Amino acid sequence: MNKLLFICLLLVQQLSFAAEVNVYSARKEALIKPLLDRFTEETSIEVNLVTGKADTLLKRLEVEGKNSPADLLLTVDVARLIRGKDKGLFQAINSSILEQTIPESYRDATNQWFGLSLRSRVIVYSPDRVNKSDLDSYIDLADEKWKNRICVRSSSNVYNQSMVAAMIANYGIEKTERWAKGLVNNFARSPKGGDRDQIKAVAAGVCDVALVNNYYLAGMLESSQKSEVVAANKIKLFWPSQDGRGAHMNVSGAGVLKPAKHKKEAIQLLEFLVSDYAQQWYADTNHEYSINPNIESNSVLKSWGKFKADDLNLGLLGKHNTDAVLLMDRVGWK
């Protein structure tokens, strides 16, 4: 009897110390959970996942403070990662795997957040109404030849804010404001909807060109919805600024939170997410580019060819985010 009691107590103790990691994710469950399940299979570390909108999760972490159960925050734009750092939510971690795998421009200088996958804000256009030779750079979209021909989502969208912040970092506020004013003057309609809506608008002839993240177009091309496939096949992708700084880049990424009670497991998960398996999964499933140049892109991304990426350090986008928002407001970008 005593022996049986001892075994039961031992089992209870083992269960109570079972390895786990608690993740808050702004990435939709379907776009991250398969990877987390694979991580559990490989390590026996259970992942407890909470999903939600990025800003909601940031606010939740602020409210929870040191009592937060979360160990790791996953989000889908560098601006949110920088916002988390500025709010003091993350802690610096040491990982030779992360430092060796992730280029400096895609991770925090103090190792508080790390980019896990890449996306680019590109130009899409109607080949029926636009000659590819007429397209050039982001700056060129302010030219009068694009009057009433451009669609883009609102200034409240963080992807647009990050793009404008990158323009400020590269060209300064004055030049960026002149560009943004010209861009707004060329809008075919008041900004509305998401990136897929901009793609559909080009396909429908509402506008001739649009600014979108590359993975939206790729997702529509491989969509189970026939209407999305039809719309996506009516347009083409163009890599902007190839003779200049290159296409604007952004990241999805993550950081280990200060209250993390499972710091070791959180770091293990981060390291798994930059593994060849995870990076290939990002490319094949989410239509994003790997932070590892040796990982092969999926067939859609590969069909768009190689491109020059802006090598701007993404840490600068947080520095200029407020300026970007104020600038967009001044030029009437709704």
Q: What is the pLDDT of residue 4?
A: 53
pLDDT at position 80, please?
92
79 neighbors 67 (Cβ within 8 angstroms): no
Does residue 200 contact residue 268 with C-beta atoms inside 8 Å? no
Q: Is 148 exposed, middle or buried (0-12, 13-18, 19+ CB in 10 A)?
A: exposed
Residue 308: DSSP 8-state = P
Instruction: Name which of 241, 294, 255 is nearest 88 in CA terms.
Output: 255
At a CB cut-off of 8 Å and minimum separation 6, what does 268 contact?
Answer: 21, 43, 45
pLDDT band at 140 (very low <50, low <70, confident <90, very high): very high
Residue 293: pLDDT band with limits 50, 70, 90: confident
At residue 89, the pLDDT reads 97
Cα–chain-centroid distance for residue 317?
13
Enumerate domains of the chain plus CATH numbers: 19-118+250-296 (3.40.190.10), 119-248+310-330 (3.40.190.10)
**pLDDT, tens digit, 9 for 90 and up, residues 1-52:** 455 544 444 444 444 456 999 999 998 888 899 999 999 999 999 999 999 9
Give which of 322, 333, 313, 325 is closest to 170, Cα–Cα.
313
- Tell me which residue of 129, 90, 120, 104 sits closest to 263, measured CA to CA: 90
Beta bridge partners of 253: 75, 115
Confidence of residue 212 (pLDDT cuts 50, 70, 90): very high
Residue 151 β-bridge partners? 210
pLDDT for 7 equals 45
pLDDT at 319: 86
Task: Decide: helix, strand or coil at residue 211.
Answer: strand
E strand spans, 39-164: 46-51, 72-75, 114-125, 150-151
Read off φ and ψ for residue 333, nearest 5 degrees.
-75, 100
The percentage of residues in the chain with a pLDDT greater than 70, rounded to a whole number, is 95
Q: Which of 25, 325, 280 is nearest to 168 (CA)?
A: 325
pTM: 0.88
Q: Which residues, other chains included, contact 290 with Cβ-Cβ below 8 Å and sequence gap of 6+? A: 117, 118, 279, 280, 282, 283, 297
> Does residue 162 register a pLDDT over 70?
yes
